């Protein structure tokens, strides 16, 4: 309990003030009552004494002893410790024990004499001009049938009464002070006892206001304070649970937002950024740590975004549009409202990189155009020669065989094209349906491809060198697909090398033995640098006219790339115009099992001419 707590001090001071006020009122009332009781007792004593004196004085009035009345009153006054005055019915002072009656004024109008004349006795407390002090007067009227009526008045000074009362008041004040001190100690104890739980509850509430919901109050108090303590503890438990759930939901939400491939930016109603995920930072080239709290227009400087944001905050429907190119990328952007009670109170901006989709769309269009062109040319020629033969050329012994040979050549070209398209379609299918992977002997695949293309090299009088490194590990894949890819590379090398040139096929282990590299090199025409990134695209030809003349479909290198991907590897090319080209396949090797026998060594070089 804090002794300087405002509530504790207010309650303690209020209690002490109430105690002091109550005791003060009791003291004043008690003192007043004591004074009144004392005066009443004194009046009763004076009344009895006055009646007794009246009976004594009545015997002396009107007799020769009246001259001795003054002396007798003086003696009685000393005994009774009071002033005695005898007043006639007309107000003339007949005798007085302290003053000369001859010099005293008429007392008929004194309050006590007036009261005694009317009611038989009168009482008055007033200042005596004769003796110069406050006196208590009591007068009685003594009527007599044998002599005139007279008044006997007794007076006592109140100074002694006041002194006695002052001592009594002092004793009462001391007792009251002691009682007030004891009451103050009790008030301090009980105030402290009853305000401690409130102070603890206040501190607990302040802690809850600061978010410290792990604190609890362990109070044994009953009544409302106990109920309040238990309610606060229950509220803290509920609030802590709710905050934990909110924190968990927030972490999950942030994890989801951070893992989104789409860029997300959330703002408030003033377009100040509240949340940015990593994808948005990457798409718009933002600094993630510095983006929060900045205006949206400052981070995304695009008129379309700014216009859409303003319209959505004004109540319009969500907007969707495409931006680009933005730093070389095309973005699909959606701007929607965060609504609170039906009113826009913020924005959600979603951005998705559609560059690849657009590129694939362009490639698709180009592929369709290429396929259409590749099909239309031979079909047009076949149709033309067929019409020519039908119109009579079939009977021409010289032209007919030439036309039929041309038709056959273009039919073969169409067959090759369809076959390659089907092969690409099969390789593109999910999971490469129907292809069973198993360890493939790369050296054997290389030799089979060399045997297949050897006659073609011989026809062009080219030197074909085949080199298979020793201890070549197998790769996991499909043997006939790998052979086809190697054969496609050899076929291109033979076609685009000059007659009498050199073609080299080499297979070796990569660094550390975890990879197999297959290279096909030639000394042909080479490929320009600007064409190198696209040589593995479908229907892409560096020299289109020469490729068609040689019967190429434009799909061979695309098949090579897909076969490399099928085996978990990659395809590469290096070339320079006039210096030939080198195509390579880099494939991961099958991990060698412990204690497995090493594969048989192959001939390092097998030249073919």
Closest CA to 199 of 456, 6, 13: 6
> What domain count does the chain have?
4
Beta-carbon count within 10 A of 53 CB: 24
192 is a domain residue: no
Q: Of 353, 378, 412, which one is at a domain's C-terminal end?
A: 353
Distances (CA, A) of 325 to 63, 331, 361: 148, 8, 16
pLDDT tens for 61-93 read 765 555 677 778 888 888 888 888 888 888 888
Q: Of 334, 353, 372, which one is at a domain's C-terminal end?
A: 353
Q: Of 165, 186, 216, which one is at a domain's C-terminal end?
A: 165
- 387 and 480 inside one domain: no
Q: What is the mean pLDDT of the chain?
A: 79
Q: Supply the pLDDT for residue 139.
A: 92
Q: Report the share of the chain in percent with pLDDT over 70.
A: 82
- 467 and 589 inside one domain: yes
Report the DSSP pairing between strands 515-522 and 502-509: antiparallel
Mean pLDDT, residues 565-591 taken together: 87
Give the lowest-confidence range in 204-218, 255-269, 391-405: 204-218
Instruction: Return the top range by mean pLDDT from 6-15, 167-176, 422-431, 433-442.
Output: 167-176
User: The tokens of 61 are what?
Assistant: 């009035």
Q: At 411, which CATH number?
A: 1.10.287.130
pLDDT tens for 458-485 read 988 888 899 888 888 898 888 888 888 8
Give the domain extent around 286: 260-353
Distances (CA, A) of 186 to 3, 15, 24, 150, 164: 15, 10, 18, 62, 33
User: The tokens of 582 are what?
Assistant: 């080198």
Instruction: Return the top range by mean pLDDT from 170-174, 381-385, 499-503, 602-606.
Output: 499-503
- pTM beyond 0.75: the answer is no
The radius of gyration of the chain's CA atoms, rounded to the nearest angstrom, is 64
Q: Supply the pLDDT for residue 604.
A: 44
Residue 154 has pLDDT above 60, yes or no: yes
Q: At 21, which CATH number?
A: 3.30.450.20
- Please check whether residue 136 is in contact with residue 144, taking contact to mean a CB–CB distance below 8 angstroms: no
pLDDT tens for 226-252 read 777 778 778 878 877 888 888 888 888
Residues contacting residue 59 through CB under 8 Å, at least 6 positions apart: 65
Q: Supply the pLDDT for residue 602.
A: 43
């Amino acid at each position: 309990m804090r002794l300087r707590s405002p509530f504790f001090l207010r309650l303690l001071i209020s209690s002490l003030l109430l105690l002091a006020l109550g005791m003060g009122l009791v003291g004043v009332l008690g003192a007043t009552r004591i004074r009144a009781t004392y005066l009443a007792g004194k009046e009763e004593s004076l009344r009895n004494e006055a009646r007794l004196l009246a009976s004594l004085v009545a015997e002396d009035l009107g007799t020769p002893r009246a001259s001795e009345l003054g002396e007798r009153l003086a003696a009685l006054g000393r005994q009774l410790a009071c002033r005695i005055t005898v007043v006639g019915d007309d107000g003339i002072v007949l005798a007085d024990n302290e003053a000369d009656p001859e010099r005293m004024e008429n007392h008929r109008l004194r309050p006590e004499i007036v009261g005694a004349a009317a009611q038989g006795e009168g009482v008055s407390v007033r200042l005596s001009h004769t003796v110069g002090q406050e006196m208590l007067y009591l007068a009685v009227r003594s009527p007599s049938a044998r002599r005139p009526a007279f008044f006997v008045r007794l007076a006592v000074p109140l100074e002694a009464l006041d002194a006695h009362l002052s001592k009594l008041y002092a004793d009462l004040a001391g007792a009251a002070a002691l009682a007030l001190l004891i009451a103050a100690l009790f008030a301090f104890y009980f105030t402290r006892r009853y305000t401690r739980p409130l102070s603890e509850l206040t501190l607990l509430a302040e802690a809850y206001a600061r978010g410290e919901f792990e604190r609890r109050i362990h109070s044994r108090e009953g009544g409302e304070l106990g109920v309040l303590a238990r309610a606060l503890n229950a509220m803290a438990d509920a609030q802590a649970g709710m905050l934990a759930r909110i924190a968990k939901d927030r972490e999950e939400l942030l994890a989801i937002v951070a893992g989104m491939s789409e860029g997300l930016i959330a703002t408030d109603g003033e377009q100040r950024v509240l949340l940015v995920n990593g994808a948005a930072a990457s798409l718009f080239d933002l600094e993630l740590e510095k983006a929060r709290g900045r205006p949206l227009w400052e981070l995304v400087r695009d008129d379309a975004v700014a216009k859409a944001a303003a319209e959505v905050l004004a109540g319009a429907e969500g907007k969707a549009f495409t931006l680009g190119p933005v730093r070389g990328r095309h973005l699909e952007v959606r701007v929607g409202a965060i609504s609170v009670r039906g009113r826009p109170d913020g924005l959600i901006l979603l951005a998705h990189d559609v560059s690849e989709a657009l590129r694939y769309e362009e490639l698709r269009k180009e592929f369709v155009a290429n396929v259409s062109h590749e099909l239309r040319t031979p079909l047009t020629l076949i149709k033309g020669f067929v019409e020519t033969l039908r119109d009579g050329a079939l009977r021409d012994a010289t032209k007919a065989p030439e036309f039929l040979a041309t038709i056959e050549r273009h039919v073969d070209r169409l067959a090759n094209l369809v076959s390659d398209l089907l092969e690409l379609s099969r390789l593109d299918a999910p999971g490469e349906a129907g292809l069973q992977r198993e360890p493939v002997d790369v050296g054997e695949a290389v030799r089979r491809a060399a045997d297949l293309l050897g006659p073609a090299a011989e026809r062009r009088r080219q030197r074909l060198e085949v080199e298979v490194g020793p201890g070549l590990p197998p790769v996991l894949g499909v043997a006939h697909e790998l052979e086809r890819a190697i054969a496609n590379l050899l076929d291109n090398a033979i076609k685009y090398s000059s007659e009498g040139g050199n073609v080299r096929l080499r297979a070796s282990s990569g660094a550390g033995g975890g990879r197999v590299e297959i290279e096909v090199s030639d000394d042909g025409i080479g490929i320009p640098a600007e064409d190198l990134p696209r040589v593995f695209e479908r229907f892409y030809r560096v020299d289109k006219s020469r490729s068609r003349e040689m019967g190429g479909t434009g799909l061979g290198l695309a098949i090579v790339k897909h076969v490399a991907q099928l085996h978990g590897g990659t395809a590469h090319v290096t070339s320079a115009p006039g210096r030939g080209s080198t195509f390579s396949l880099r494939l991961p090797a099958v991990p060698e099992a412990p204690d497995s026998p090493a594969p048989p060594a192959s001939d390092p070089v097998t030249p073919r001419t």
